[in-house]
Chains A and B, each alone.
Chain A
Amino acid sequence: MAITLLIPTALRSFTDRQSEVEVAAATVGDAVKALGAKYPDLNAHLFDDHGELRSFINLFVGDRKIEKPDGLTQPLADGETVMLVPAIAGGKPINNSQLKINN
């Protein structure tokens, strides 16, 4: 089934700037997995080390939020749209002293 995923600007640098991506999937969870398969560089942003969808990304079908994890098995009809809504913070970069553990 052809499903359209709506990609927020915060993630578009990982989808070749595409704002809409079409995948074949039967459930909400499969649609997001298919998105990650299509754009492997997006995977680390979508899923944590255990393969769970990250909690700062919400999925909406229509105007309804998909409750994780149960809602991920929700079946999708052909032509349906799944919107990704990430937490965005705005302005400031985390400063490098805060990142120093990683840096």
Chain B
Amino acid sequence: MFTALTNPEIARYSRHLLLPEIGVAGQLRLKNARVLIVGTGGLGAPLALYLAAAGVGTLGLVDFDFVEESNLQRQIIHSVRDVGRPKVASASDRIKAINPHIKVITHDTTLTGKNALEILRDYEVVADGTDNFQTRYLVNDACAMLGIPNVYGSIFQFEGQSSVFYAKEGPCYRCLFPEPPPPGLVPSCAEGGVLGVLPGIIGTIQATEVIKLIVGGKTPHAALPVGETEPDGGKPLIGRLLLFDAWRMQFRELKLTKDPRCPLCGENRTITGLIDYEQFCGLKKPETEKPVAKITATELKARLDRGDPLQIIDTREPHERAIVKFPTAKIIPLGQMTRRMNELDPAIDAVFICKIGQRSIFAIRALERAHYAGKMFNLQDGINAWAREVDKSLPTY
């Protein structure tokens, strides 16, 4: 059922109503639309703020996370006083302050294969602002199964990607990336960093696409009140991948086509229900290779105090040493490890360190593949653990 715009709404949305492409019909569609934003972080923040301001009638928010200090550099929906609060609660308060006319539904949970269809089926568009591959594939699959568009955005350092994956009309995320990278092979923003405004740009591109899909009647069950003319929804980002490089200030547009071999939306579909996405993303797969030997920060301190001969290899990027230095470490960034293998002494135990103990694992794996003969240990949880357990004067980052 369409509810008409009230006079206060007409005043509020005047700048939309003046656009012939939106007009009263488009604004009514926005008012009656239900959009789910998955993740209320860097991408979810501008998505939620702009969709709320634009008058999307019902906004759903999914996030299980809590606001942290390090979020505030880019997640502009949260404030200093929100640190420690659930992100959906903080985001919901902010949305209501921006637009009291709309309804917010919070889902304070992790989206999983068990609850996703139940949650998503109440919405007509999903905006994917997730920060991990499990949820990305889950959102993609669930949207294709429910026949709703998935407005995609992803960011790393200075680069962003955006597209609209709508299996009814074009390719899905699996058509582009059939399988996720093995765990840890692609660095995360927690290790590689991200320009704070980047999610602002990509998230607002996503918000633009959400609005166009709704106004243009591209979403399922998009009815139009009697007597209204069909608005022009423009050209959606379906079948196109937009790449953005903030540091070069460059946009590129790539063509995407449906992959006939896609297991989800192709000719011979093998995925007919949601699966276990942690397993799919290799997070549960039993490893056949032998585990990497580890050492805790406290154990490392004890060995250093005993005067054990050790070589400590800092695998971080050179500029990270300006944040916090590890005493007596040799600097070999992960990206140069095998090339500089001859700088290591296989007769002496080597301890590999990084920020949180993940790149160092890859350094060890790379040296194993290169048949390095010495003993190797991974500093568990990285230099951040050293700062927490051993030298509390050091910062964590």
What is the interface of chain A, defined by CB distance below 8 A to chain B?
8-10, 13-16, 39-42, 44-45, 54-56, 58, 60, 63-65, 67, 83, 85-94, 96, 98-99, 101-103
Contact = CB atoms under 8 A, between A and B. Distances in A.
B357 to A, nearest CB: 7
Contacts of B181: 54, 56, 86-87
Given A41-B336, A103-B378, A90 B191 contact: no
B118 interface: no
Contact of B243 (A45, A54, A85): A85
Contacts of A96: 356-358, 380-381
A41 B366 contact: yes
Nearest to B355: A93
B287 A88 contact: no
Contacts, number: 163
Contact of A93 (B161, B178, B356): B356
Contacts of B176: 58, 65, 87
Interface centre among A39, A55, A60, A88 (most CB of B within 10 A): A88
A56 B366 contact: no
B185 interface: yes
Contact of B156 (A9, A41, A44, A55): A9
Contact of A91 (B41, B294, B365): B41
Interface of B: 41-43, 130-133, 136, 154-159, 161, 176-181, 183-192, 194, 199, 241, 243, 245, 252-257, 259, 278, 283, 285-287, 291-292, 294, 317, 333-339, 356-358, 361, 365-366, 369, 378, 380-381
Contacts of A15: 335
Contacts of B333: 13
A87 B163 CA distance: 13
Given A89-B188, A103-B380, A98 B183 contact: yes
Given A87-B180, A89-B154, A94 B131 contact: no
A9 B159 contact: yes
B132 A92 contact: yes
A55 B338 contact: no
Q: What 9 A-B pairs are tightest by C-beta distance, nearest first?
A: A91-B131, A13-B335, A56-B181, A14-B335, A88-B156, A93-B190, A9-B157, A90-B131, A93-B188
A84 to B, nearest CB: 11
Contacts of B199: 90
A88 B183 contact: no
B177 A92 contact: no
B356 to A, nearest CB: 6
Contacts of B252: 63, 83
B287 A101 contact: yes
A87 B188 CA distance: 11
A69 to B, nearest CB: 12
Given A45-B185, A55-B177, A88 B338 contact: no
Contacts of A41: 334-339, 366
Contacts of B254: 60, 63-65, 83, 85
A26 to B, nearest CB: 23
Contacts of A65: 176, 254-257
Contacts of A102: 183-184, 287, 291-292, 361
Contacts of B365: 44
A102 B293 CA distance: 9
Contacts of B361: 99, 102-103
Given A13-B192, A13-B334, A103-B378, 13 more contacts: A14-B334, A14-B335, A60-B254, A65-B257, A83-B254, A88-B161, A90-B154, A91-B132, A94-B358, A96-B357, A98-B278, A101-B285, A101-B287
Contacts of A40: 338-339
Contacts of A63: 252-255
A102 B359 CA distance: 12
A44 B366 contact: yes
A9 B158 contact: yes
B186 A86 contact: yes
A8 B253 CA distance: 15
Contacts of B336: 16, 41
A56 B338 contact: no
A88 B381 CA distance: 23
10 contacts: A10-B186, A13-B187, A16-B335, A87-B154, A87-B176, A87-B181, A88-B155, A91-B132, A102-B361, A103-B357
